[in-house]
Amino acid sequence: SQKIEQNSEALNIQEGKTATLTCNYTNYSPAYLQWYRQDPGRGPVFLLLIRENEKEKRKERLKVTFDTTLKQSLFHITASQPADSATYLCVAVGGYGQNFVFGPGTRLSVLP
Amino acid sequence: KAGVTQTPRYLIKTRGQQVTLSCSPISGHRSVSWYQQTPGQGLQFLFEYFSETQRNKGNFPGRFSGRQFSNSRSEMNVSTLELGDSALYLCASSLGLEAATEAFFGQGTRLTVV
């Protein structure tokens, strides 16, 4: 079955460093990947989208890569801040429609 | 513009009962998807509606059903509730015209089955 894995359940980094989160998918060829942020008690909030024919996308301090050979996406937050502390979800979407397959999420803590 | 609105925010039901959750999407959005989120399973896709038709369906039993109205508002129904149905139910809306569009999530309905 389609499966999305995120390498760490939790990640602690020091303020100012770059956080790198990993998303791997198996039995799946998503047309694109999305990354969302979720704070406790709230719904996920969209951050970035990358299509299978794109290698890299950037938005302010965020960068996402998509490697279809490795079946992997990397999500980077540069110059991390304590306000970046949240759970980050990788989502794979394939084909037409909004059938999203979510990864389990990585809980990021940025320590001051 | 107003975001995705889910009602009610919290709900407590007894095993065997049924429940209906409501979702009002962002104005102009025609796709509404429903998800179940639990600590053990994460976010799992239930189904998606587009222009009043179910377009995609996840792997949930038939006790879980939904519908969408002509104004794109959607309802989700769970019958014969089980303890394991306790979860945060999230609704997301999008334009839905192509797969590569971001989804906007509501705050969710926290369902507790006792």
- Chain B hits for A95, CB-CB cut-off 8 Å, are 99
Count CB atoms within 10 A of the CB of residue B64. Answer: 18
Judge whether residue A98 has pLDDT over 70: no
What mean pLDDT comes out for the span A15-24?
96
pLDDT band for position B11 (cuts 50, 70, 90): very high
Judge whether residue A37 has pLDDT over 80: yes
- State the burial class of residue B89 (Cβ atoms within 10 Å of its Cβ: 0-12, 13-18, 19+): buried
What mean pLDDT comes out for the span B47-68?
93
What mean pLDDT comes out for the span B34-43?
90
Judge whether residue A32 has pLDDT over 90: no
CA distance B13 to B83: 10
Tokens of B7: 């009602």
B44 close to A (CB below 8 A): yes
pLDDT band for position A3 (cuts 50, 70, 90): confident
What pLDDT is stored for residue B78 in this prediction? 98
Judge whether residue B84 has pLDDT over 70: yes
| Least confident interval from A28-37, B13-22, B85-94 | A28-37
Which of B6, B48, B102 to mutate against chain A (most A CBs within 10 Å)? B102
**Are residues A106 and A87 in contact, defined by beta-carbon separation less than 8 angstroms?**
yes
What pLDDT is stored for residue B98 in this prediction? 67
What pLDDT is stored for residue A100 in this prediction? 79
Please name the member of A34, A44, A97 whose beta carbon is closest to the beta carbon of B48: A97
- Chain A hits for B43, CB-CB cut-off 8 Å, are 44, 89, 102
Judge whether residue A39 has pLDDT over 60: yes
- Chain A hits for B105, CB-CB cut-off 8 Å, are 36, 43-45
What pLDDT is stored for residue B100 in this prediction? 61
Residue of A nearest to B58 (CA): A99
